Structure 1
Amino acid sequence: MTRPNIFALRPFLPADTPMLAAIFVASVQELTGDDYGEAQQEAWVAVVDDEEGFAKRLASQLTLIATLEGSPVGFASLKDNAEIDMLYVHPSAAGQGVGTLLCDALEKLAGARGAKNLVVDASDTAVEFFRKRGYAAQQRNSVSLNGEWLANTTMKKAFDGGAQA
């Protein structure tokens, strides 16, 4: 009998940057192929080529890391207590509740800090995940990234029974 995976959360440390960059790349390359072409994926993962810039982005936000037996398997970041900026799960842990754990934590922290709602620019791959969590589509976007155009959807979730705008 196998026991269920037990994931834990911890805050981001600068030394985590290379591992989180690897999770970011694996997630984009292995999980988004149904929604984005190879050139789009390459442009997307090029974001972490500047590891120092990636580290600064993670450090400037509230970034949480999901671990399994002490090893990072996913991460998420909250920008300005108003926006989920990044949410990436390693393909080996996808579908096991890591994204839900990370998103639950960010929503609780944002709400405790007075946020009335959260927004996210969800990739086409992630739209259904956020929709199931109560996020409503606000608008479609086309984002230019390293010479490629990528589509995403701005989604919003209101807290405390507030109306979604």
Structure 2
Amino acid sequence: MKIQDAVINDAPAACEVLRRSISELCVADHGNDPAILAAWLRNKTPEIVASWIAQVDSSLLVAIEHGAILVVGSVTDAGEIILNYVSPDARFRGVSRAMLAALEARAIERGNTRSTLSSTETARRFYHANGYAEDGVKTRNYGTNTGYRMAKSLTAQIVDHVS
């Protein structure tokens, strides 16, 4: 598996990973409610994903294995992780953890000592297990009540990264 910056040609496959991950893996968040699911998926189109790839103030990364995108992740230059979605076909293989490490490394490269994110209920335990802690009031995302604001210090990783 290789993690790299996404290119415009990755947009359709990356979009498909996002849509499948949300639809199939985030049931604890959307509860199969068609209105919530529609709101969450509304901006997950190949055209919009292509626009995210082209943004200059964030990085959209993909993990690729045998030509297939397994994970899509994005981090802003301010250190906020805004995407980390795994294909249902690659769940529990460590690819999300590898993507998280790559996103944190990119945040460090951009001068950040702290990473923030808004976690789904589905991913909350994953982020806790990777050093994130609740950091703020729960938010309402796409009609769900499961936007857990979380943060992690990247200071220790900066020391390890520099060593």
For residues 50 and 145 of structure 2, what CA distance do their matches in structure 1 show? Answer: 23
Alignment match of 1:125 (pick from 116, 122, 126): 122
Alignment match of 2:134 (pick from 121, 134, 137): 137
AA paired with 1:52? E
AA paired with 2:20? A
Q: Is residue 157 of structure 1 aligned with residue 152 of structure 2?
A: yes
| Aligned residue pair count | 152
Alignment match of 1:44 (pick from 26, 29, 40): 40
Give deviations 1:96-150, integer Å, cap 9, x for gaps. Answer: 011011110111221233201000011111111111111111121113x3xx345
Match of 2:44, SS state, is: helix
Map of 1:69 onto structure 2:
66
For residues 90 and 47 of structure 1, what CA distance do their matches in structure 2 show? Answer: 18
Give deviations 1:19-38, integer Å, cap 9, x for gaps. Answer: 11100111011101133222
Q: TM-score, normalised by structure 2?
A: 0.85
AA paired with 2:52? R
Distance 1:13 1:127, change over 3 A: same
Alignment match of 1:15 (pick from 9, 19, 41): 9
Structure 1: which 5+ runs fail to align?
1-6
AA paired with 2:39? A
The structure with the largest helix share of the pair is: 2
Give structure 1 regions of 4+ aligned residues with deviation exceeding 4 angstroms: none
Structure 2: which 5+ runs fail to align?
158-163
CA contact (8 A) 1:58 1:77 kept: no
Match of 1:43, SS state, is: helix
For residues 126 and 144 of structure 2, what CA distance do their matches in structure 1 show? Answer: 22
Q: TM-score, normalised by structure 1?
A: 0.84
AA paired with 1:43? A
The structure with the largest strand share of the pair is: 1
Q: Is residue 30 of structure 1 aligned with residue 27 of structure 2?
A: no
For residues 30 and 82 of structure 1, what CA distance do their matches in structure 2 show? Answer: 28
Map of 2:88 onto structure 1:
91
Q: Is residue 111 of structure 1 aligned with residue 108 of structure 2?
A: yes
